[in-house]
A and B are shown apart, each in its own frame.
Chain A
Amino acid sequence: MKPFDRVVSKVVPLRADNVDTDQIIPAKYLTTVSKKGLGKGCFHALRYQEDGTDDPSCPLNQPVYQGASILISGSNFGSGSSREHAVWALTDYGFRAVIASSFADIFYNNSLKNGLLPVKLAPGQVEELMQLAQSKPESKIQIDLEKQTVVSPEGREYGFSIDSFRKSCLLQGLDDLGYLLQMIPVVEKYEERVAAGI
């Protein structure tokens, strides 16, 4: 996993609640056996019109937002399907962080396991940053994981919370598997206890 410490970037505004993982990556892209290349299908229905051409009204297609690595959206972001492909699509597209007023549980977990930082802020704070991203698309904000802050160009600071274990994993780029593999002797003892009915 790619470590995450800090990102400074423009912000793509996606003004909607309940952005589900079917919207992030439609099922037709899930027939892959790889994690790579899913960026092409990211937000497919939002980015393309029915004839396959770019939808100019979609912020993702607007030149001013090109190269942005932060996405901002409303509540319950990433709801629905557990497909980790949604996170792989976002990271392959170039996103490093998503700011939202709340996240769906499975999406939140999947993000943390792929170095995509989910930043939960209060609805009013999300609205301020959303308006900034819409009215001044060139504005860059900074997300600092160590300090747990989002900083606007004017220097306004928004703190966010994150579980300390998850934070250290992200900072170091560590996944759970290494830790779990170290636990195998403990797991074996647990299995023996259960088998013995203790």
Chain B
Amino acid sequence: MSKRTMLDKIWDAHVVEQAEGKPSVLYIDTHLIHEVTSPQAFAVLRERGLKVRRADRTFATMDHAIPTRKLAFDLWPTEAAVQVQTLRKNCEDFGVTLFDLQGEDQGIVHVVGPEQGITQPGATVVCGDSHTSTHGAFGALAFGVGTSEVSHVLATQCLMQEKPKCFAVNVEGRLGPGVTAKDLILAVIAHIGTGGGAGHVFEFRGEAFRSLDMAGRMTVCNMSIEGGARAGMIAPDETTFEYLKGRPYAPQGEAWDRAVFRWRELPTDEGAVFDREIHLKASDIAPMVTYGTNPGQAIPVNGDIPDPESMSSEEEKRATLQALDYMALRPGSKIAGQQVDIVFIGSCTNGRLEDLRAAAQVVRGKKVRDNVRALVVPGSKHVMKAAELEGLDRIFQESGFEWRNAGCSMCLAMNDDKAESGKYVASTSNRNFRGRQGPGARTMLMSPSMAAAAAVHGEVVDVRQL
């Protein structure tokens, strides 16, 4: 039998129909939805008189547009409130499970899915959100779709898809002290470029990924899309099974044992061939900081901001010039020492308990620098509760951080959490696009411990030297 990649195995198991000259009809096991990209899809169902075909495979939460200030309901822009009400009504009318803002299970869709055990190895998972790639950390094929495709999955549980190619990202060895999953994925994206993975699914391989906990693996897969790949995946192993066991939607009892046997067959066969492959060494990776306006424009914290004149192509030169102009950063200067005005710790990339612990460890007993505004936004209500049980909320608040409710918050500036024009934001989120965190805001992406250190020092510092 031919050697197959994990992508091949999951893909083959989900092809419902393959007609000549047409894309595959791919079965979707799990559909996650949220308030922003679903209303127009439900509208299609209503127009055509269709039902949600498998409401039991569909789960909803509220995260993008909601406020995260405590008791901030009065701050709601009317449109966002309408959007949340629309999701409530759609879930009620179509029988979809909703992790409501009022309940205990609400949070960012890519934190909630894994936390509830909804995300499982070998499954196909989609959501109207590009960071759906997060769920690939469990050895699932998970990718973001547009709202039209949300309506297709709601109505038929299927999508028409061309099979993507497979791109093996091998990183050997373990990360050094102070170097995290965030730095690892930023280094990978800096290596291949922000569009480098287009048309592919990443398979992250090697000890650097194997040795990460599930939170770290989710951080890595989350940012696959920032390298241009719709999905990223890591083979399931004992770490995966241990994380999932006993979670509300995970199989129980005998069904669990059977599932684990099945999941153990998922990893790529030895000798299987990838369409593309790169090899990096973990020991070469330092804490990373972005200096530009796409996530591929990242450098080691001890590195120099690149000089556009040194770029090989006209396009790169132009892109770097435009980025540095927007960021108001000087070519050739150090990124370390760059002033920081706002610190945002949270998002589907780095809003999990492990991320908050890492940040709290840095700020414990220290104060946020004067003139720095710092906020921590847990990825879900469960993360928030667990952090509060450990006293992390007190550590953050005593240092001068704001402690918020769960949501996407300043990652995409859809609610009232926006960075002001011209301000430098040390952010644990995933995108440093122009205006992403607010019109004119200047984002520098980094790990939770690096962002925490930036809050305390008021500038970018190398967390390894603290």
Which one of A21-29, A53-61, A63-71, A150-158 is at the interface?
Answer: A21-29
A3 to chain B, nearest CB (A): 16
Q: How far is the CA of A30 from the CA of B64 in the complex (A)?
A: 10
State whether the Cβ of A148 lies closer than 8 Å to any Cβ in chain B. no
Using known A-B contacts A30-B414, A76-B195, A79-B294, determine if residue A45 contacts B130 with beta carbons closer than 8 Å: no
Is there an interface contact between A183 and B152, defined as CB atoms closer than 8 Å? no
Name the contact of A18 in the complex, choosing from B40, B294, B435 (C-beta under 8 A): B294
State whether the Cβ of A132 lies closer than 8 Å to any Cβ in chain B. no
Chain B residues near A81 (CB-CB < 8 A): 129-130, 412, 431
Is there an interface contact between A23 and B199, defined as CB atoms closer than 8 Å? no
Is there an interface contact between B319 and A183, defined as CB atoms closer than 8 Å? no
Is there an interface contact between B228 and A45, defined as CB atoms closer than 8 Å? no
Chain A residues near B158 (CB-CB < 8 A): 180, 183, 187
Is there an interface contact between A190 and B16, defined as CB atoms closer than 8 Å? yes
Among residues of A, the one whose C-beta sits closest to the C-beta of B147 is: A84
Q: Indicate the member of A76, A81, A179 with the most B CB atoms within 10 Å.
A: A81
Name the contact of B434 in the complex, choosing from A23, A34, A85, A106 (C-beta under 8 A): A23
Chain A residues near B332 (CB-CB < 8 A): none
Q: How far is the CA of A194 from the CA of B162 in the complex (A)?
A: 22
Is there an interface contact between B160 and A76, defined as CB atoms closer than 8 Å? no
State whether the Cβ of B396 lies closer than 8 Å to any Cβ in chain A. no
Residues 176-188 of A, flagged 1 when their CB comes within 8 A of B and 0 if not, give 1101110110110
Is there an interface contact between A34 and B146, defined as CB atoms closer than 8 Å? no
Is there an interface contact between B435 and A110, defined as CB atoms closer than 8 Å? no
Chain B residues near A83 (CB-CB < 8 A): 36-37, 146
Is there an interface contact between B145 and A102, defined as CB atoms closer than 8 Å? no
Chain B residues near A10 (CB-CB < 8 A): none
Chain B residues near A109 (CB-CB < 8 A): 145-146, 149
Chain B residues near A187 (CB-CB < 8 A): 16, 25, 27, 156-158
Using known A-B contacts A17-B315, A84-B148, A180-B155, determine if residue A45 contacts B434 with beta carbons closer than 8 Å: yes
Give the contacts of B146-191 with A (CB-CB under 8 A).
146-149, 151-152, 155-160, 162, 164
Is there an interface contact between B439 and A45, defined as CB atoms closer than 8 Å? yes
Using known A-B contacts A22-B436, A23-B434, A76-B198, determine if residue A181 contacts B64 with beta carbons closer than 8 Å: no
A190 to chain B, nearest CB (A): 4
Q: How far is the CA of A26 from the CA of B322 in the complex (A)?
A: 19
Among residues of B, the one whose C-beta sits closest to the C-beta of A75 is: B195
State whether the Cβ of A32 lies closer than 8 Å to any Cβ in chain B. yes
Q: How far is the CA of A109 from the CA of B337 in the complex (A)?
A: 42
Is there an interface contact between B230 and A106, defined as CB atoms closer than 8 Å? yes
Among residues of B, the one whose C-beta sits closest to the C-beta of A179 is: B160
Residue contacts A-B, CB under 8 angstroms, 30 given: A17-B319, A18-B293, A22-B431, A22-B433, A23-B433, A23-B434, A27-B413, A27-B436, A31-B77, A31-B82, A31-B414, A33-B39, A33-B83, A45-B435, A80-B130, A82-B129, A82-B132, A82-B145, A105-B199, A109-B149, A165-B23, A177-B44, A177-B148, A177-B152, A180-B25, A180-B155, A181-B155, A181-B156, A183-B156, A191-B27
